[in-house]
Structure 1
């Protein structure tokens, strides 16, 4: 630990902390800032300091807390603890608390001056998540009004000018990272199949390099699961004397206990191959990694104003992302980075990633601001102000959800929505389900919609066989669409007794078994959360199956009223919100059926615009739920 670069500037850091309310620390990967700065601050005044350290991701918050507890030789949850969604390992005596930025924002909603802390450290600020940006805006205001609060903004990249301008001339300290040399290797020509190229590269490293684990970056859960299965299938066929490959997935939707596996040592003559999303780019140090395979892509959500929907797109990373990934190979020893793209393509990458606030739906941040009593949304203290069009779209969405009234003030329903750990439209659906007495079935479906890549596309050779196995669940939906089919899957999965039976059934129906296990975890978490907020979730009414299906779809319609479309004579649909042409995706059970109107929860664009997770609706439902919306749209069409 004495070798960590951050400790070489300890005196300068302590001086800045004593003299300034706001300090910006630019510390490269490997500088030790995430573990050491909280301890340095706590040592300034051990009895007085109460420190919050935010992380964009829960796995980083948990593992940093464990590391600092080990370094301070204390029991986790006492002096050092953590709080992430639905999990609290801290108590009244905790002095250093690691928490996700979302949890600190939730605490700020309950105690607007954050009087429970003397120091707030915003770590990984360069990631520029929406929540981190919101926190910076709130904290910049709080620190001006409240004595005894210190703010430390920590970033791994040189974005100091923007931060110092925002925080009105805050002091900046630079720390060089500890880096061992890392060789860079590029491909001579681009590859079409990144999963295949990743697996082949990992096997070549395993055969050709004597020691060291491998960290491979892929864009999402589906690619990671595919690569994991491929590596598992070849692991036993390695040549004699070559280490056995132990593939380990790492992505946000993975259960916490499985995420922890990447930090454990493997036995002799074995080699870890960690297959990760950009969750492993910063904060986390995975012991033993000497080789990085960089696929050059990641998934980002891009908000489509014309459709009122997020699209999850696979896009090239930035040079900053590439540098972070490369740095993972040089944390503990000299390493190698295999970039699965050409050197020319590297030079075409943009320098920095686009801030999330510029490409996402801003309904959640605006609902948060409204809940905090902020009325002047455009004039608020944004680090990066969203476009006015994005703000107006979000205000309209929140009005349709009845989270805001005619004057733009937050409603009682809106305040309850702001507390739930879900996007506003799903919060709305869940709260309406409680009022309708159908909480349990809606919880099943909302939990499914909170997971990526639950229902997978079958291989073309097996598509007919898989569709035949799925058919009974579709028939049992009463022609009410994909949401009801999802619930039928969940009910059957829950009825299976053994884990082996569950895995086999998922395999037969081409359902992601890991994701389905996560659905059960999320459902339990949401149920506990509703109970902790004293919502009556056990008030189930008795419905005939067809009536229950209608009630479920009506409930979702209240949350997705803006995602509706009317049938056209050519079997396409026209969205009510913008009049754009949209098609039902062939994977939907509603595909090819004659319906007068649809609601959808997902949108994708390939060769054309597609609606996914589709449910047929009746126009009279839409008229009953949102007459102001239909009349406004009708007036606009005339």
Structure 2
């Protein structure tokens, strides 16, 4: 290109059918030998494609190294935990949930026979809250630790401490890992390095900085299509907006290319991002006539493997969420990726054959990139982490042995929020509310709201609050394809409750239930069926947690809370004639979300607590309506400071 430069003791699984050709196989004896001693540890630095995630747990199981206990394998992402568990179960000739299972938030396939469990790091952390010794596990494998999620960092400290108190074997695995740092932290000196099974990828950089990366991506895609042999193209962009813009540009060029004077070979544009409905995401994995170009966010970096990719177009950018200690809110900004991410992206082209990667940035810009993405512990709200640590009996959380310690200000902000939520006692330990909140796997603000909804006055609408929280816990409910945007907007408006985004979400769900979860209903109304199915799953789980919290010591359920456990399809019944259901829900939201209340004066919103200014997000049904008081679910900063998911609480607001 001219622009660039678990199981019974008698069980012996057989692995001859699977894994023998993977690079990790030659290290099998070394791995099992390193784990022969009690409380032994091992670091595996294994490149992408070497087979470490699927094969190492099987080696341990076959060698009987887990002391008849379960082997835990953590993953940062739920999609990886589920798909890998399914694959390994298949390799062992069993159904998922038997010998091999998984556990992710709001979804679990584990039985008494399970010996290998793939689970998100957050779910293993939850296991530690319920059982601080993690007694059911004989081996813990911390995989993909280079991603350094908050849960991974907490787990590393917990596992490190457990190795001193009981026989627990630990394996730390990653494709890109700081071996000296991990070795010193855990006191592990045994290391196995495994090369991946990949093909060479030629890297090209821009010779000089260019302006608009979306335009550059378009040019690079078209040049690749015209000048290079067959093979699909994967282009990394920052988010949905970029993807839709580039899709529009490319489709215009493709239409022009059909003219006899150009006679351009077929090129199919396929978007891939988290908010996309499932049936549209699947297009990225399907074969098509002609060459396919996939426009993706970093969801395609490590979580999924797409066959047929030979060419990578890398913008060098991503959207990163960070917690601002000065404002106490999250920001979502476009930022440069790390060198590790750049390597992961380019490697997508070398999984099946030699490939090429065209980077839309210069070598000088690459040299200035950080080696790795900053650990999440440095850029997150610590309130949920503190509740989790307190629930495990850790009193002085500021002295917790993190591999990298968070700033003092992050602790200050988190304790302020928890005090405002009134879930701590005078000694900064969890009170009764705090202990209940620690059981529910949601953010503290939502845990408090759910518990608040079980009060006697709200028993008839507690189910509705559960649904609302579930809907807030999934990706975008509405979607609008570029070619049907106006039609989609018209369809969406019929679900709007004009004074509340929360009630709008509840309304969508009620219609979904009335239509018995029909796929046609979702497609007709441009509603994300994948998100609604997930919301139903989450709702069932949350109802279960509330049932657990409502248990008396004799095992019965308090009468005032028993209504919470009704079947979900009862949610869609008509409103009770004795009260205004929506107003009661609004009142519960107002009281249950005490931190994010804003007052409007001369079209300017200010927090009733901090007096800081904020704006209603353009996607809200309240945008440009300016009710006197609103409550919102979250605050983010993009181009401005925005309130997302808002409800007009003017009729129920009571001044302090």
Decide: shared fold, TM above 0.5. Answer: yes
In structure 2, the CA distance between the partners of 1:130 and 1:329, relative to structure 1 (3 Å rule), is same
1:501-555, Cα deviation, whole Å (9 max, x unpaired): 543433xxxxxx33xx234223311221134336242578965699433332332
Counterpart-to-counterpart distance in 2, 1:45 and 1:291: 43
Is 1:185 aligned to residue 204 of structure 2? yes
Q: Is the 8 A contact 1:306 1:578 kept in 2?
A: no
Contact 1:65–1:82 (8 Å) recurs in 2: yes
Alpha-carbon shift at residue 323 of structure 1 (Å): 0.9
Question: 1:459 deviation in Å?
Answer: 8.6
Q: Is the 8 A contact 1:27 1:176 kept in 2?
A: yes
Alpha-carbon distance, 1:23 to partner: 1.6
Is the CA contact 1:121–1:153 (under 8 Å) kept in the aligned structure 2? yes
Q: CA deviation at 1:221?
A: 4.7
**How do 1:119-134 residues align onto structure 2 when only pairs under 5 Å count?**
119-134=139-154
Name which of structure 1's ranges 602-611 and 299-308 shifts more when overlaid on structure 2: 602-611
Contact 2:231–2:291 (CA<8 Å) still a contact in 1?
yes
Distance 1:223 1:429 in 2: 35
Partner SS state of residue 92, structure 1? coil
Seen in structure 2, the aligned counterparts of structure 1 residues 369 and 615 have a Cα distance that, compared at 3 Å, is same
Give the counterpart of 2:190 among 155, 159, 171. Answer: 171
Q: Does 1:92 align with 2:134?
A: no
Question: Alpha carbons of 1:235 and 1:101: their partners in 2 closer, same or farther (altered >3 Å)?
Answer: farther
Question: Are residue 4 (structure 1) and residue 27 (structure 2) matched?
Answer: no
2: CA distance, partners of 1:353 / 1:545: 55
Q: 1:80 aligns with which of 85, 100, 103?
A: 100
Q: Which residue of 2 aligns with 1:266?
A: 287
CA contact (8 A) 1:57 1:279 kept: no
In structure 1, the partner of 2:441 is 421
Number of aligned residues: 606
Q: From 133, 137, 150, give the equivalent of 1:113.
A: 133
Post-superposition offset of 1:408 = 1.9
For residues 133-155 of structure 1, give each alpha carbon's deviation from its aligned partner in whole angstroms, at most 9, with x where no partner exists: 111111111111112x1010112
Cα deviations by residue, 1:257-299 (Å, 9 ceiling, x for unpaired): 876776x6636x5555454432332364433332223232222
Which of the residues 523, 539, 544 maps onto 1:503?
523
The correspondence of residues 201-212 of structure 1 with structure 2, limited to 5 A, is: 201-202=220-221, 204-212=223-231
SS at match of 1:18: coil
Structure 1 residue matching 2:454: 3-state secondary structure: helix
- Does the CA-based 8 Å contact 1:59-1:259 persist in structure 2? no
Cα distance in 1 for partners of 2:592, 2:243 equals: 31
The verdict on how the C-alpha distance between 1:503 and 1:259 changes in structure 2, with shifts beyond 3 A counting, is closer
Answer yes or no: is the 8 Å Cα contact 1:125–1:132 preserved in 2: yes
Structure 1 gap ranges (5+): 507-512, 628-638
Stretch of structure 1 that moved more, 340-349 or 358-367: 340-349
Q: CA deviation at 1:119?
A: 0.6
Q: Shift of residue 326 of structure 1?
A: 1.0
Quick check: 289-298 or 598-607, which moved more?
A: 598-607
Residue from 442, 463, 473 that aligns with 1:440:
463
Secondary structure at the counterpart of residue 280 of structure 1: helix
In 1, distance between residues paired with 2:385 and 2:540? 24
Q: 1:522 to 1:75 in 2, by over 3 A?
A: closer
Task: Pick from 364, 385, 405 the counterpart of residue 365 of structure 1.
Answer: 385
- Deviation, 1:353, is 0.7
The residue number in structure 1 matching 2:233 is: 214
Is the deviation greater in 582-591 or in 293-302?
582-591
Q: Which runs of 5+ in 2 are unaligned?
A: 1-18, 548-561
Distance change in 2, residues 1:542/1:180 (3 Å): closer
Q: How does 1:571-586 map to 2 (within 5 A)?
A: 571-586=603-618
**2: CA distance, partners of 1:469 / 1:74:** 44
Q: Deviations over 1:331-355 (max 9, x none)?
A: 2321111223343332332221111
Determine the structure 1 residue equivalent to 2:593: 560
Give the structure 2 partner of residue 63 of structure 1.
83
Name the CA distance, whole Å, in 2 between partners of 1:81 and 1:421.
20
How do 1:230-245 residues align onto structure 2 when only pairs under 5 Å count? 242=265, 245=268
Quickly say closer, same or farther: Cα 1:622–1:227, change in 2 above 3 A: farther
Please say if 1:334 is aligned against 2:358.
no
* Aligned equivalent of 1:548: 581
CA distance in 1 between counterparts of 2:317 and 2:195 reads 27
Partner of 1:308: 328
**Conserved? CA contact 2:466–2:543, under 8 Å:** no
Q: Is the 8 A contact 1:81 1:96 kept in 2?
A: yes
Distance in 2 of aligned mates of 1:158 and 1:538? 46
Q: Which moved more, 1:12-21 or 1:91-100?
A: 12-21
Aligned CA distance change for structure 1 residues 583 and 245 (closer, same or farther; 3 Å):
closer
Shift of 1:493: 5.5
How much has 1:302 moved relative to structure 2?
Answer: 1.1
Q: Does 1:18 align with 2:36?
A: yes
Q: Report the secondary structure of 2:361's partner residue.
A: coil
| TM superposition score normalised by structure 1 | 0.83
Q: What's the CA shift for 1:46?
A: 7.0
| Separation (CA, whole Å) in 1 of partners of 2:113 and 2:492 | 53
Determine if the alignment matches structure 1 residue 398 to structure 2 residue 418: yes
1:209 CA drift (Å) = 4.0
Q: Secondary structure at the match of 1:214?
A: strand
Equivalent-residue separation in structure 2 for 1:462 and 1:286 (angstroms): 28
Q: 1:100 offset after TM fit, Å?
A: 1.4
The answer (yes or no) to whether the contact 2:201–2:350 under 8 Å persists in 1 is yes
Q: For 1:366-413, what per-residue CA distance to the aligned partner results, in whole angstroms no more than 9, with x for missing partners?
A: 111111121111011222222222112212212222332333221333
Partner-residue secondary structure (3-state), 2:631: strand
**Could you say which residue in structure 2 is the equivalent of 1:635?**
none
Output the aligned Cα RMSD: 3.7
Does residue 325 (structure 1) correspond to residue 345 (structure 2)? The answer is yes
Gap change, CA 1:402 and 1:47, over 3 Å in 2: closer
1:270-309 equivalent positions in 2, closer than 5 A: 273-282=293-302, 284-309=304-329
Q: Deviations over 1:219-252 (max 9, x none)?
A: 335555676788899989986894663736353x
* 1:442 Cα offset (Å): 2.5
1:439 and 1:538 in contact (8 A); partners too: no
For residues 177 and 472 of structure 1, what CA distance do their matches in structure 2 show?
52
Q: Does 1:29 align with 2:48?
A: yes
Tell me, in whole angstroms, the C-alpha distance in 1 between the residues paired with 2:388 and 2:185. 21
Structure 2 counterpart SS, 1:321 = helix
Deviation at 1:595, TM superposition (A): 4.1
Shift in Å at residue 321 of structure 1?
0.8
Give 1:114 deviation, angstroms: 1.7
Deviates further, 226-235 or 272-281: 226-235
